[in-house]
Amino acid sequence: MAEVIFPGPAGRVEARYQEPSKEGAPIALILHGHPRAGGSMQDRVSVQLYKLFADYGFGVLRFNFRGIGRSQGVFDNGMGELSDAATALDYLQALNPNAEQCWVGGYSFGAWIGLQLLMRRPEIDGFIAAAPPANHYDLSFLAPCPASGIIIYGTRDSVTTAADMERVISRIRTQKNIKVDSAPIEGADHFFRGRDPGEDHLADVEKHARTYLERRLAGPPRPPNVKR
């Protein structure tokens, strides 16, 4: 894992980059939680997703949104952060011009940004969205959702209740060969912690994400110009 700095729309962007295991390996961009709620590329869910993709040989990039850590700029309520994510994806693709697949993973606010990004970038093949804040941000833009992915959430999430999340997932319109899976984690809150002190569900996030990624990677190669 290397510390990297690249230019972004608001100035310098601080990031961590894991080189792929081989030429042409897939790539993944990881997006962290809300900057105003302590989110950074070091939050545990983002780090877990980063390590997961690295385990499968992806070239992986996680970075701090503007105003976090050594990234320059100030919080921009999502619009600027979406621009940061697009620039980060450009940077990752420039490092890996022959990548066979492109994925995005995100936690909370970062999941919301990631879902917006995949609507704008047709080269994204799949996504893992952990605890997207569906009752804070409108997800109706997923109409139809252009790539298959999985949404992982806790049944005790007070930021987005399980009922809210299930309603959003049921309303996501998909096109042919596109499927959005859901993975509720019983007893987990928005931070994937449990009801009792010391109870932790981060391993459950990793299990659902790993199972889904393994299944997708085991599938047939994507034909040219056809999305999974």
Sheet holding 126-130, edge to edge: 2-8, 11-18, 59-63, 27-31, 102-107, 126-130, 148-154, 180-185
Whole-number pLDDT of residue 219: 74
Whole-number pLDDT of residue 22: 96
Whole-number pLDDT of residue 225: 43
Whole-number pLDDT of residue 226: 42
Report all structural domains of the chain as residue ranges with CATH numbers, in order of start: 2-217 (3.40.50.1820)
Distance CA 40, CA 65 (A): 7
Which tokens is 194 given?
A: 């449990």
Distance CA 123, CA 214 (A): 20
Distance CA 58, CA 52 (A): 9
Whole-number pLDDT of residue 224: 45
pLDDT (tens place) for every residue of the chain, 228 residues total: 799 999 999 999 999 999 999 999 999 999 999 999 999 999 999 999 999 999 999 999 999 999 999 999 999 999 999 999 999 999 999 999 999 999 999 999 999 999 999 999 999 999 999 999 987 777 878 888 999 999 999 999 998 889 889 888 888 878 788 999 999 999 999 999 999 988 999 999 999 999 999 999 997 655 444 443
